[in-house]
């Protein structure tokens, strides 16, 4: 991403995947909960029960400022298109949405892009920039396919602006929907383990970073939709990212997942994530090839937050699960005893930060360690 208007880069990416993962309801009630249907003439209610309100003026809606603002509804919408994505705010000049933040802390910022064609515009040809809270979220951005962009940004109380600007005089921009939603306290803690080739150190100030969600993976389990997630997130199956040669078998669990106070919670990840897993399968595999590896395409030059979710649903007794965890070939955890850390179906979360300076992909590898 290129800097524009003296804005800062996002200083960290957000890569989230579950290693060891009952339907749960969204019990968290966010203090700030702006759900905006851009360009719509009426409210749109989703399958998960949330209602998005039109972006025209109203007491519970954000201030919207724009020059040359145009609203273009989708003509003859297909039944396959969600109501939320049948309209868009289209702009040929800079515009911004202003939100009143009541509760300081980390917030989810979600931007919905569903390009469609009208007699005046084909949204797949849009090219624009998006800035928020001094950060460049998107630069020279455009898409020909539906896309949801999610960010986590620490916001202070008061005014918060999301600004859109065409990338050039002959370009325009659009957005179908905007979410500005408070995250639970403790979702992003301040400290993580920083994994370097030469050493492991501590990364402080994590909650103050602006982060983009890149991958949210449910290992061994099915897709999790906002309907089944406590914070209206999407988790996708891991098979696409599991590298050939990884030796694993899927393990599932239908019992009750346990959560520890001040530890992992249903807001960190729902039960659906913790009740399935991949366990290493040693059948017919030599020691050198005995591993599970996931690979994720990423951009170089950034730091990435890797959140690993564990819940021991596989071992028959304690002290049987020992393994090493590597990120891009660098040891992150050695002789990790999962049954000791997450025994008795207790959910835990491990946080790692790593750089990706010269690789085109970020690799996560689990290697077994023989228990004494």
Are the CB atoms for 163 and 96 separated by under 8 Å?
yes
Q: Are residues 165 and 244 in the same domain?
A: no
Residue keyed to tokens 């399935």: 276
Taking only the tens of pLDDT, the chain with its 372 residues reads 333 333 444 444 445 444 443 333 447 899 999 999 998 889 999 999 999 999 875 656 677 665 555 566 665 466 678 889 999 999 888 989 999 999 999 999 999 999 998 888 899 999 999 999 889 999 999 999 999 999 999 999 899 999 999 998 889 999 999 999 999 988 888 888 889 888 888 888 888 889 999 999 999 999 999 999 989 999 999 999 999 877 888 999 888 888 877 678 888 888 889 889 988 876 655 555 678 899 999 988 888 999 998 888 877 677 777 888 999 889 998 888 877 766 667 787 888 888 765 444 555 555 544 332
Last residue of a domain, one of 164, 182, 200: 182
pLDDT of residue 342: 61
Q: Are residues 353 and 205 in the same domain?
A: yes
Q: Are residues 205 and 160 in the same domain?
A: no
Residue keyed to tokens 């968290």: 28
Q: Are residues 75 and 113 in the same domain?
A: yes
Any idea what DSSP says for residue 338?
H
Q: Are residues 47 and 117 in the same domain?
A: yes
Q: Is residue 81 part of a domain?
A: yes
Rounded to an integer, what distance in angstroms lies between the CA atom of residue 344 and that of residue 318?
9
Could you give the number of structural domains in the chain? 2
The number of beta carbons lying within 10 Å of the beta carbon of residue 237 is 16
Q: Is residue 222 part of a domain?
A: yes
pLDDT of residue 120: 83
Rounded to an integer, what distance in angstroms lies between the CA atom of residue 166 and that of residue 144?
16
Q: Is residue 22 part of a domain?
A: no
Question: What's the CA angle centered on 118, arms 114 and 121, to 5 degrees?
Answer: 85
Q: Are residues 226 and 277 in the same domain?
A: yes
CATH of residue 166 = 2.60.120.430
pLDDT of residue 231: 93
Q: What is the value of pTM for the model shown?
A: 0.85
Q: Are residues 43 and 138 in the same domain?
A: yes
CATH of residue 228 = 2.60.120
Q: Are residues 320 and 208 in the same domain?
A: yes
pLDDT of residue 282: 64
Q: Is residue 290 part of a domain?
A: yes
pLDDT of residue 236: 96
Last residue of a domain, one of 150, 182, 214: 182
Residue keyed to tokens 């957000």: 14
Q: Is residue 3 part of a domain?
A: no
Q: Is residue 24 part of a domain?
A: no
Residues in Cβ contact with 200 at an 8 Å cutoff, skipping those fewer than 6 apart? 193, 194, 331, 332
Q: Are residues 175 and 215 in the same domain?
A: no
Q: Are residues 51 and 158 in the same domain?
A: yes
pLDDT of residue 160: 95
Q: Is residue 80 part of a domain?
A: yes
pLDDT of residue 46: 94
Q: Is residue 314 part of a domain?
A: yes
Are the CB atoms for 17 and 238 separated by under 8 Å?
yes
Q: Are residues 275 and 313 in the same domain?
A: yes
Boundaries of domain holding 347: 192-368
Rounded to an integer, what distance in angstroms lies between the CA atom of residue 248 and that of residue 293?
10
Q: Are residues 223 and 336 in the same domain?
A: yes
The number of beta carbons lying within 10 Å of the beta carbon of residue 197 is 11
């Amino acid at each position: 991403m290129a800097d524009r208007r003296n804005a800062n880069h996002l200083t960290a990416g957000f890569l989230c995947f579950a290693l060891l993962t009952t339907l749960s309801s969204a019990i968290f009630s966010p203090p700030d909960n702006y759900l905006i249907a851009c360009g719509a003439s009426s409210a749109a209610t989703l399958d998960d029960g949330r209602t998005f309100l039109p972006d025209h003026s109203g007491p519970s809606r954000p201030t919207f400022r724009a020059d040359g603002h145009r609203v273009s509804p989708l003509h003859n919408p297909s039944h396959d298109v969600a109501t939320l994505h049948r309209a868009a705010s289209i702009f040929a000049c800079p515009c911004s949405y202003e939100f009143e933040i009541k509760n300081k802390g980390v917030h989810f910022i979600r931007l919905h892009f569903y390009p469609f064609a009208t007699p005046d515009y084909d949204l797949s040809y849009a090219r624009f920039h998006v800035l928020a809270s001094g950060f460049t979220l998107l630069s020279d951005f455009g898409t020909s396919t539906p896309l949801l962009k999610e960010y986590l940004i620490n916001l202070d109380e008061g005014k918060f602006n999301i600004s859109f600007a065409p990338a050039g005089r002959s370009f325009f921009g659009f957005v179908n929907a905007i979410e500005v939603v408070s995250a639970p306290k403790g979702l992003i803690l301040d400290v993580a383990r920083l994994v370097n080739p030469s050493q492991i150190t501590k990364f402080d100030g994590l909650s103050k970073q602006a982060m983009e969600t890149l991958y949210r993976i449910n290992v061994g389990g099915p897709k999790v939709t906002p309907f089944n997630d406590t914070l209206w997130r999407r988790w996708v199956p891991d098979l696409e990212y599991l590298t050939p040669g990884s030796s694993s078998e899927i393990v599932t669990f239908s019992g009750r997942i346990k959560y520890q106070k001040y530890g992992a919670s249903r807001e960190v990840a729902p039960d659906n994530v913790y009740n399935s897993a991949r366990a290493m399968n040693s059948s017919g595999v030599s020691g050198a090839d005995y591993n599970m590896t996931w690979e994720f395409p990423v951009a170089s030059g950034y730091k990435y937050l890797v959140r690993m979710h564990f819940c021991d649903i596989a071992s028959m007794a304690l002290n049987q699960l020992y393994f090493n965890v590597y990120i891009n070939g660098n040891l992150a955890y050695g002789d990790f005893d999962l049954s000791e850390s997450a025994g008795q179906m207790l959910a835990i979360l491990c946080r790692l930060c790593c750089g990706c300076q010269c690789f085109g992909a970020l690799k996560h590898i689990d290697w077994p360690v023989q228990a004494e």
